[in-house]
Structure 1
Amino acid sequence: MARSFVDRRSAHQKIAAALRRQITRGDLAPGAQLPATPALMEQYGVAGTTVQKALLALKEEGLLVGRAGKGVFVQGSAQQTITPAAYLPPSAAGEQHRWITEADSRSQRGSIKLLRVEAVKPPHEIAAALELGDGERALLREQILLLDDEPAELARSYYPLSLAEGTAMMEPKRIRGGTATLLSDLGYPPREAVDEVSSEIPTEEEVVALELPKDMPVMLTFRVIYSDDDRAIEASLLVKAAHRYRVRYLQQIP
């Protein structure tokens, strides 16, 4: 016998979730007009104030827009798909970071803002992935990746100091082509990337950096990149706004 379980979210949260799913999956296309408030009140069996709270939440997420005298319309589109494999190979000599060139191929403007470069004591799972000893530090390069000036990803990437010291990675400035290109030039080309993806509640820093609306979760990717001889050369925590993006992985089935 199935267990009984009750959705304890407020009524406006449930309505917002139902409408959000229709928007992100394309059932409500950009430009579509939502039913008037009385119709939504009848559909969901709630008061007008509850409907308005649900619509306000979706407006704050950029999915809906109100037009005076006309109604409420879908402004956002289905979530944008990001394919991680497109960004992993080193850039060709003289080329920009793949985040920028991939955005160009979609007629978007990609940009990167470097937040800090610092030798730090890394989080536990980062230290374990990089096989660092107790108390051993790693180089942290933290940056925001943007698409059309909207924050898309907060990236915290860690590198063994044994690889980073004496290189441009230690300098507080962007690296043309990205660290993958620099490491490849140093004899550590990326050979394999392992991703673990989870949905999590964002920290205050992540809410501010990604300009997240209230109560919005994030996609957190824990990525480890290996070079020859299975040497871990980079471990990253990549945080994306869950309502804006989806991730596409191609799985080869034996």
Structure 2
Amino acid sequence: MHRGDDWVSTSMPYLVPRVGGQGDAWSEEAAAKGRRGTQRIVHAGEVPASDEVSGLLGVAEGEAVVVRRRVIELDGEPCELTDTYYPVHIAGGTGLADVAKIPGGAVTLLARLGHVGVRVREDVTAGLPSAAEQQALRVGPGTPVLRLTRLTLDAEDRPLQADLMTLPAHRQRLRYELRVGQGAGIGSPSGPSPSAH
């Protein structure tokens, strides 16, 4: 979350597996700034893929996918809504399909299951919140929101995970830093960008 000019975070901690019993990246990032980062998992399980999700994950529209719907909070206040989708052959029957918290986060569990992301694509758009988003984020109908879509792919360019995030625009600043030349470019949005803890 961006409040003033003192909050700058990067995507990278949310994209790599945690080691040595580390907690989730969002709680750790918030704690480093003297804040409390939490999340509520409001739903987990199989749902039919929407047109958008089917396009991201490369499945047929209406085909079953696994979703984890979360409200991300900073100091007890909602600051982001994140729906994370997985192909059933990856997430079905795992902790990703359950509302229980996953030690180290979803990326850590995916790695333990043999699924490691190597490429990430992020798209950002802006718009107005739906009635449900207004209620969940505690914002008015005229409050602009940012919608960040993140797709994580493995070494063979197969989709592993698609995150659909909604964030109040007045609380965010997005910054992307790219490494030029040798080495991969890393997109770095400023603000909480949890990846299915």
Same fold (TM over 0.5): yes
2:16 is matched with: 89
Q: How does 1:49-198 map to 2 (within 5 A)?
A: 77-78=4-5, 80-198=7-125
AA aligned to 1:200 is: G
1:206 is matched with: 133
Q: How does 1:41-56 map to 2 (within 5 A)?
A: none
Alpha-carbon contact 1:113-1:143 (below 8 Å) kept: yes
AA aligned to 1:189 is: V
Alpha-carbon contact 1:91-1:178 (below 8 Å) kept: yes
TM-score between the two structures when normalised by the length of structure 2: 0.84
Using the TM superposition, give the Cα deviation of residue 165 of structure 1 relative to its aligned residue in structure 2, in angstroms: 1.6
Give the distance between the partners of 1:124 and 1:159, measured in 2 at CA: 14
More helix by proportion, 1 or 2? 1
Q: How does 1:7-26 map to 2 (within 5 A)?
A: none
AA aligned to 1:207 is: Q
Query: Larger RCO: Structure 1 or Structure 2 (Cα < 8 Å, ≥ 6 residues apart)?
Result: 2
Using the TM superposition, give the Cα deviation of residue 201 of structure 1 relative to its aligned residue in structure 2, in angstroms: 1.0
Give the distance between the partners of 1:170 and 1:203, measured in 2 at CA: 25
Q: How does 1:196-235 map to 2 (within 5 A)?
A: 196-235=123-162
Residues 55-80 of structure 1: CA deviation (Å, up to 9, x unaligned)? xxxxxxxxxxxxxxxxxxxxx73584
Give the distance between the partners of 2:127 and 2:99, measured in 1 at CA: 29
Alpha-carbon contact 1:80-1:245 (below 8 Å) kept: no
Q: Identity of counterpart residues, as a percentage?
A: 30
Larger Rg: 1
Give the distance between the partners of 1:79 and 1:247, measured in 2 at CA: 13
Contiguous gaps of at least 5 residues in structure 2: 182-197
Using the TM superposition, give the Cα deviation of residue 173 of structure 1 relative to its aligned residue in structure 2, in angstroms: 1.4
Give the distance between the partners of 1:134 and 1:78, measured in 2 at CA: 41
Alpha-carbon contact 1:80-1:244 (below 8 Å) kept: no
Using the TM superposition, give the Cα deviation of residue 133 of structure 1 relative to its aligned residue in structure 2, in angstroms: 2.5
**Superposition RMSD in Å:** 1.8
